[in-house]
Amino acid sequence: MGVYGVRMVEKRGVCNLCEAICGLVFTLDDDTGAITAVRGDPDDPLSRGHLCPKAVALQDVHEDPDRLRRPVRRHGDTWVEVSWDEALDAVADGLARAVNDHGRDALAIYLGNPNVHSLGSLTHGTAMAKSFRTRNKFSATSVDQLPAQMLAYLMYGHQLLLPIPDLDRTQHFLVFGANPMASNGSLMTVPDFPTRLRELHRRGGRMVVVDPRRTETARVADEHHFVRPGSDAFVLLAMVQVLLAEDLATPPAYVDGLDAVRAAVAPYTPERAAAMSGLDADDVRRMARELAAAPSAAVYGRVGVSTQEFGLVSTWAVQLLNLLTGNLDRPGGVMLTKPAVDVVGRSFVGRGHHDLWRSRVRGLPEFGGELPVATLADEILAPGEGQVRALLTVAGNPVSSTPDGSRLDEALAGLDFLAAVDIYVNETTRHADVILPPTSALERDHYDLVFHALAVRNTARFTPALFDKPDGAMHDWEIFREIVLRTQRRLRTKRPLRRRLVQAARMRLSPTRVVDLLLRTSSPRLSVARLRKGPVDLGPLQPCLPDRLMTEDKRVRVAPAEVLADLSRLESARAPQGLVLVGRRHQRDNNSWMHNTTRLTKGRPRHRLLMHPHDLAAHEIADGSVVQVKSAVGAVAVEVQASEDMMPGVVSLPHGYGHARDGVRMRNAVDLPGASVNDLTDPSVLDVSGNAVLSGVPVTVTPT
């Protein structure tokens, strides 16, 4: 019984918005079923009661009248609700027509970020994507963590063998290009970073941050260094060079290629790093020595390190620092996880492969079956055999999230057919012929297959849907199943009947059933029924190398040829003249969506260009004025804000804004169109992994 005689019930749930995967407790009015409160679950062994403002906004998304609940078809500029049957048939017709008329590669697919946050996407969405057998598969991976996955594949033998900072035990945390105070961590599932950092300080540990902006994380660090965007490789390699030159390296026995590393890093001295990066040579040397001297240390690099011109080399250098200081696989260092459902060990996710085929227009190599999304517009626009004619996007917004979004925006308008599985009309799905909206996150069962495998502690949690599936709604996995079955039926070249039957049977198994089977056959043996009683703590990360390596000889390849070859490109890098642009995230932003919840958007606008006062003065720009920011590919008008937190020479704009195109306001935003930073980022410049370069973009800023 609650207050005023209103009957309240509490239900466990989860926030699937970011990688922290916080366990939640929802309070519901038992009579109306309405959510009356959301709080962090204090009994959750991973998130320990944490939540951020976005969790509360899950309710806003759920209740948002602009969230699509029925499939819609576009008629000119208007959307018409249609039945599921009509919508699914129209999608299958459109996709199959492209394949029948122009071949399999004429159908492209783009998988956006929320796919990794939905159980149904992982169990059924990836199977759907595979079933198309197109070479034109794209995802948010290549605007995010592709260098990390490629390097894990090259060094450790599996794209998801990603060593995770053992944050709860480390004594020294060295962070390059990440802002976990705002992002809550990435490739490091770490709910409640602020408390965990306080604990680190309490046990005498230190955090050092290297970032071109004095971020929320830099502010609470023991030491912060500005770094010129894109120059991390010079700093990181110089640190490796110091470790080796000063005989401070203590690598494990199971590594191959150390001599090649020694030779490769020899030219990268702290003095050279200083000239390129703006850090002090003595600081670089000291940082290397302190790393070697720390009882335990974890070096961590994230979006700022991977979405830049030398993403793969920088990511490699981060791994080398951990490995050479003996911190790989050491408590308090960086460790591999052992989740209840071991997606790596059980081959739920493949090891990866590289360069099995190349993109048609630019000849860019695939990784793990995907091509760099920076070239999606080329594949749509360039005529010829294999041209993309139809596109299916799932939970993505590449017009806002990938480089030169404006060009992609134009390209999408020219497609024969575009279908989207999405809950909003956004900058991308507005071009769709049909949008298929799945149930909301609160209407779905969840078990986190991906982020348990990237977490700072081994735990297992299953959360049943908070609300029943409403009448006339479909779960995402049901939509994927129908797309596969209906499209296959229409294809002229059919796959063998047996394979189709096996596939159909698989697609009929619900995600919860799949997870249950996986849990029951894992060690320790768990089940969905067991986890319905509450989450299970499997303890801190455990040493497991070299056993867990997936290379054939169970040895780490520390000098992959692909990385060494890219050093020649690094050799020719020049420190940029003029201003460069970097991105930023705010705790109350979530990539390109959720700008339509007032709870998250009220207050001062956050989409301004930050610029150092000296730079403003040098360019004769007044604080608060509207400026034009121009790059090689485009220009946007934004308000500028003076900020001492910026490194001089660097300006910062958050991504995910730009919600009005051609004067049309999208339904994923209320009153703050802002400008899209990806109208400035340049798809012609890529990291060798194929990852987009979103950081260190040369720009000019002029008064308007």
Ligand X SMILES: Nc1nc2c(c(=O)[nH]1)N[C@H]1C(S)=C(S)[C@@H](COP(=O)(O)OP(=O)(O)OC[C@H]3O[C@@H](n4cnc5c(=O)[nH]c(N)nc54)[C@H](O)[C@@H]3O)O[C@H]1N2
Binding interface with Mo ion (CB under 5 A): 144
Window 169-198: contact mask with ligand SF4 (x via CB under 6 A): ---------------x------x-------
Of 258-266, 358-366, 511-519, 674-682, which part binds ligand X (CB under 6 A)? 674-682
| Nearest distance, CB of residue 696 and ligand X, angstroms | 5
R_g of the chain, CA atoms, integer Å: 25
Q: Residue 591 interacts with ligand X (CB under 6 A)?
A: yes
- Pick one of Mo ion, ligand SF4, ligand X, none as the site partner of residue 241 (Cβ within 5 to 8 A by kind): none
User: Taking CB under 6 A as the rule, does residue 22 contact ligand SF4?
Assistant: yes
418 forms part of the interface with ligand X (CB under 6 A) = no
For ligand SF4, which is the closer residue by CB, 48 or 67?
Answer: 48
DSSP code at position 181: H
**For every residue of 473-500, which 3-state class applies, written as one string?**
CCCHHHHHHHHHHHHHHHCCCCCCHHHH
CB of 140 to Mo ion, least distance (A): 6
Q: How far is the CB of 467 from ligand SF4 (least distance, A)?
A: 18
Contact with ligand X (CB under 6 A) among 8, 38, 182, 485: 182
Indicate whether 277 belongs to the interface with ligand X (CB under 6 A). no
Compute the residue count for the chain. Answer: 704
Q: Which residue's CB is nearer to ligand SF4, number 110 or number 447?
A: 447
304 binds ligand X (CB under 6 A): yes
Residues 64-93 that bind ligand SF4 (CB under 6 A): none
From the list Mo ion, ligand SF4, ligand X, none, which binds 366 (C-beta under 5 to 8 Å, kind-based)? none
The H helix count followed by the E strand count for the chain is 24, 32
Q: Which does 21 bind (CB under 5 to 8 A by kind): Mo ion, ligand SF4, ligand X, none?
A: ligand SF4
How far, in Å, are 211, 273, 630 from residue 267 at the CA level? 24, 10, 35
Identify whether 331 is preceded by a cis peptide bond (ω within 30 of 0): no
Is residue 656 a contact partner of residue 401, using CB atoms and an 8 Å limit? yes
Distance separating alpha carbons of residues 147 and 236, to the nearest angstrom: 15
Give the contacts of 524 (CB within 8 A, at least 6 positions apart). Answer: 340, 538
Identify the CA nearest to 492 among candidates 104, 58, 11, 87: 104
Among residues 265 and 677, whose Cβ is nearest to ligand X? 677
Q: Are 90 and 420 in contact (CB under 8 A)?
A: no
Closer CB to Mo ion, 144 or 427, in the complex: 144
Instruction: Examine residue 377 and tell whether it contacts ligand X (CB under 6 A).
Output: no
Q: From Mo ion, ligand X, ligand SF4, none, which one binds at residue 15 (CB under 5 to 8 Å depending on kind)?
A: ligand SF4
CB-wise, 13 or 180, nearer to ligand X? 180
423 interacts with ligand X by CB under 6 A: yes
Given 25, 28, 35, 51, the residue binding ligand SF4 (CB under 6 A): 51
What number of other Cβ atoms are within 10 A of residue 465's Cβ? 18
* Separation between Cα atoms, residue 582 and residue 629, nearest integer Å: 12
Piece of the chain touching ligand SF4 by CB under 6 A; list 19-27, 105-113, 215-223, 364-372: 19-27
Three-class secondary structure of residue 198 per DSSP: helix
Closest CA relative to residue 62, chosen from 38, 90, 95, 46 = 38
Structure tokens belonging to residue 29: 């009015």
**Strand pairing report for 417-421 and 390-394:** parallel
The footprint of ligand SF4 (CB under 6 A) covers 15, 17-18, 20-22, 51-52, 54-55, 184, 191
